[in-house]
Amino acid sequence: MLIRPIRLEEKKIYNSVIKHPVQTWEWGEFQKKLGKKVERVGFFEDGKIKDALQVFFRPVPKLNQYSIGYCPRAFTPSEDQLSALKELGKQHNALFIRLEPNTSVPVSDRAKLKPTIELLLNNNCQTGKPFFYQHTFTVDLTQSTEQLFANLKSKTRYNVRLAIKKGVKIVEDSSKSGLKTYLQILEKTLKRKGFYLHSPDYFKKMWELLGNSDLFHIFHAVYDDTPLVSWIMFKWNDQIYYVYGASIDLHKEVMASNLMMWEMIVWAKSEGAKTFDMWGSLGSEPDPKNPWYGFHRFKEGYGGELTKFLGTFDLVIKQPHYKIFNTVDNLRWKALRIKTALGI
C-alpha cells in the first residue's frame, strides 16, 4: 500500500472516497479559515485511491511549539492508518492526535466494536475526551414515506399533524439572510438553555465556505410569519445529517420542531438519501437528569435506530506532555462550565 499526502489537484478523487461531511475537502478548507493546519493523506493500492483522511492541527495554548491533532469521522482504524498518523503527528510536533472514527453499530451489537478498540489500545492509544457524539439515532430512508410516518411514536405523529393543522410551514433559506435568522434564534436558544456552542463568527465562516455548496442547507419552521425554529443540515453522498438546531421560546403549542424533524426526513428521502443521521443522542439507558435528555427523547420519537460509535481515542505521541495537557484542559473546561452557568 502506498501512503502519501493528497495534492491540490486530487480534490475530486479525495472526496470520492470520503464518507462523512467533516472529512470532506470543503470542511478542511473551513478548518483552515479557523486557523488550523490541515493534512490530507491518501491510501493507494495499484495506483488507485482506496481510502483517505484529513487531520486538523492547532497549537497548544501558551506552548505554540507543540500542537494537537484531530481526526474526526475517518474510516475504521488500521495499523497502517495509525502508523501514518503517528508519523504525521511527529512532523507537527503533536502531543497526540484525537481519533473519532466513523465506525458504528446498532447499540445492541456494541460487542462487535471490541476488536477494533483492542487494536487501538495496543497501538499507543488511550481513551480520550469525546468531542463528537458517541451515540445517534439513524433513520433508514429506504422505507416508504408512509412506513416512515407509521414508525413515529404516537405522540410524535400527533404533534406533527397538529403543527400542520396550525399552519406551520417549513422553508429552506440557505442564503446569508437565512444564516442571520439562524444566528438570531441561536442566541436566544443559548441564553435560555445555558449551553455553550460555537461563536457567530464560526457559523459565518462556515457559510462563506460551504453556503453555496450542496453540502450545506438552512431550514426554518415559520408560524404566523415568524421563524420559530432554524436548523442547519448537511448532505453528503447518500446521507443527510441534522447538525445544528435552534428555537425560540414562543408559540410552543404549535409543535414547530416536531414538524421540522419530520419534514427533514421527507426532504432527505426526496434528495435520494438512504440514511438520516440525527447527529447525537444519549445511550441506551439515558439519565433523565442529563441536560440533553429532552433532545434524546425528542429524537427517539422518529423511529430511528439507536447506534453506538467506536468512541474517542488519543493516539499519544508525547506521553509526559499528554498527561500535563489533560490536567490543564480539565481545569479549563471546569472553569468554562462555571462561567456559562453564571452567565458571565
pLDDT tens digits, one per residue of 132-185: 999 999 999 999 999 999 999 999 999 999 999 999 999 999 999 999 999 999
Please state the φ and ψ torsions of residue 116, each to the nearest 5 degrees: -70, -40
Which residues 6+ apart lie within 8 Å of 39 measured at CB? 5, 54, 55, 57, 88, 92
pLDDT tens digits, one per residue of 205-217: 999 999 999 999 9
136-308 shares the fold of 2-129+311-342: yes
The residue among 323 and 205 whose pLDDT is bigger is: 205
pTM: 0.91
- The proportion of the chain whose per-residue pLDDT surpasses 70, expressed as a percent, equals 95
CATH topology of domain 2-129+311-342: Aminopeptidase (3.40.630)
Cα–Cα distance for residue pair 258/267, rounded to 1 Å: 14
The reported pLDDT for the residue numbered 333 is: 58
Domain boundaries, the chain: 2-129+311-342, 136-308
pLDDT at 38 over 60: yes
pLDDT at 334 over 80: no
Mean pLDDT check: name the lowest of 8-12, 129-133, 148-152, 190-194. 190-194
* Residue showing cell 493500492: 45
From the options 3.90.550.10, 3.30.465.10, 3.40.630.30, 3.20.20.140, give the CATH code of 136-308: 3.40.630.30
pLDDT tens digits, one per residue of 238-292: 999 999 999 999 999 999 999 999 999 999 999 999 999 999 999 999 999 998 9
- Categorize the per-residue pLDDT at 341 as very low, low, confident or very high, splitting at 50, 70 and 90: low
pLDDT at 103 over 80: yes
State the average pLDDT over residues 122-129.
95
State the average pLDDT over residues 288-316.
96
Q: What angle do CA 28, 235, 274 make, to 5 degrees?
A: 130
Q: Taking a C-beta distance cutoff of 8 angstroms, is the pair 75, 287 a contact?
A: no
State the average pLDDT over residues 51-60.
96
Q: What angle do CA 34, 18, 270 make, to 5 degrees?
A: 100
